[in-house]
Amino acid sequence: MSEPLLDYTEKQKVPLTLFFAVAFCFTQFLFFIDEGYNSFKWMLSPANWLVFFIYLFPMILCMYLGWRILKNKTWSVLLGLLIGTSLVIFVLLGWREMTG
């Protein structure tokens, strides 16, 4: 008998490097187009790096959760990216409204 092409009993590993790479590139793009600068001058300020990671980690978390909930489907990465970005924007805008 021939071997099965896919072994469904083997657990698929979490593609954390893929999540990080997608979130990193997307966040880099957002910061590149931010405020019309169209440059990477923001990298010179440590405070901007803090904000960068505030965007990055929720995106990675939402991609991971989407991947787990949607049973490893590939399009869950895109869904997690959109949900993570929206979550950060809503949290930051809500915090800004509360502080005045």
Q: Identify whether 3 is part of a domain.
A: no
Is residue 8's pLDDT more than 60? Answer: no
pLDDT for the residue 73: 66
Burial class (CB in 10 A: 0-12, 13-18, 19+), 97: exposed
Band of residue 9 on the pLDDT scale cut at 50, 70, 90: very low
Q: Identify whether 78 is part of a domain.
A: yes
Q: Identify whether 11 is part of a domain.
A: no
Query: What is the count of structural domains for the chain?
Result: 1
Is residue 61's pLDDT more than 60? Answer: yes
Greater pLDDT, 11 or 45:
45
Rg over CA atoms, the chain? 18
Q: Identify whether 56 is part of a domain.
A: yes
Q: Identify whether 69 is part of a domain.
A: yes
Q: Identify whether 2 is part of a domain.
A: no
pLDDT tens column, 31-41:
887 755 677 77
Query: What domain range is 32 assigned to?
Result: 17-99
Q: Identify whether 95 is part of a domain.
A: yes
Q: Is the pTM of this model over 0.75?
A: no
Q: Identify whether 8 is part of a domain.
A: no
